[in-house]
Structure 1
Amino acid sequence: MPPKPYLRPSHPDDNPAIAAIIRSVMTSYGAVGPGFSIEDAEVDEMHETYDVPRSLLLVVDDGAGRVIGCGGIAPLAGGDADTCELKKMYFLPEARGLGLGRELMMTLEEAARNRRYRVVYLETLGSMVEAAKLYQRLQYTPLAGPMGNTGHTRCGSFYAKTL
């Protein structure tokens, strides 16, 4: 039987794999250039960026030590203290459709509650249709516009959920 994927906290050694996943997924959606998260300085140092109070970065390990997905929470830039952003949630194609996105989001929501956040905000591309379906199934409400000041000016879909 093949190993079962599982969630775990990120480690510094995961940085290259996480950066490669982010760049691969964003490029596959044509989301390259200023205003997209692929340009964020944190992409190459994800573990260190999220290894701070009120933040968390989880990776999806394929069960054999290979990172196949990631996602995290952090305070919303330019937002209030009660709001976190669910960020950098990306999966390699082989990790999609297995329920890992739902598991990751629910785990991050629990982590947000434990860090005393009341609202989870996220933004995505309109072309990420399957992701939008997941957000709505998990009771995220579509918003008319962005919250905070993330710098992701080219994202066109925004969601929030009160915990």
Structure 2
Amino acid sequence: MDKPIIRPIEKADNAQVAQVIRKVLVDLGVPKVGTAYADKALDMMHETYDRDRATYFVVDDGGTIIGCAGIAQLDNYDGNVCELQKMYFLEEARGRGLGTAMMDACLEQARTYGFEQCYIETMPYMEAAQKLYKRTGFRYIDGPMGDTGHYSCPVHMLMDL
């Protein structure tokens, strides 16, 4: 069996990516309002990230998307800060080192784009994700930066690139 690969999203991946994100959010009991679940972009992630200084990656496991994450300028923020966006993995992807590999891919891309810092919003009970973020170099900050529209995500983290 081939090892899953991390690659930039293709237009043909849009439907699978939307399914992955919504499934993970529902499985975790995330509110459907004020979180990524309600984002119009979910059904057209390829087009959403087809712009300057933005990339969305997928974990392709033999043609099946089992995880995803992206990097882009932090919305409604005046500064050279990107946001790690919509990082989600199906259960079968977890515990395989794919989260660390995805973080590395996203942060390397952010550095290539010249961003100075990377920001994340998450939920308090997403403890495994927060452990990964802290291990990668993120620290907790007191409040939100920019305005992502994800007002239901009360945990904010930042990392210097």
Q: TM-score, normalised by structure 1?
A: 0.96
Written as runs of structure 1 = structure 2, the 5 A alignment for 1:13-162 is 13-62=12-61, 64-162=62-160
- Contact 2:31 2:152 (8 Å CA) reproduced: no
The Cα of 1:149 is off from its aligned counterpart by 0.2
Structure 1 counterpart of 2:40, one-letter code: A
Runs (5+) with no aligned partner, structure 1:
none
Is the contact between residue 143 and residue 160 of structure 1 (CA under 8 Å) also seen in structure 2? yes
Tell me, in whole angstroms, the C-alpha distance in 2 between the residues paired with 1:51 and 1:92. Answer: 24
- Give the residue type in structure 2 aligned to 1:131: A
Structure 1 counterpart of 2:19, one-letter code:
A
Letter in 1 for 2:68: C
Asked if the contact 1:22–1:88 (Cα under 8 Å) also holds between the matched residues in 2, the reply is yes
**Conserved? CA contact 1:81–1:117, under 8 Å:** no
- Assess if the C-alpha contact under 8 Å between 1:32 and 1:39 holds in 2: no
- State the distance in 1 between where 2:105 and 2:21 align: 20
Per-residue CA deviation, residues 25-77 of structure 1 (Å, 9 max, x unaligned), is 11111113221111011000001000111000000011x11110000011101
Identity %: 44
- Mapped to 2, the partners of 1:50 and 1:92 lie a distance apart of 21
Q: Number of residues paired by the alignment?
A: 161
Letter aligned with residue 59 of structure 2: V
RMSD across aligned positions (CA): 0.8
The one-letter code matched in structure 2 to 1:106 is D
Distance 2:94 2:101 in 1: 12
Task: State TM-score, norm by structure 2.
Answer: 0.97
Which residue identity is paired with 2:30? A
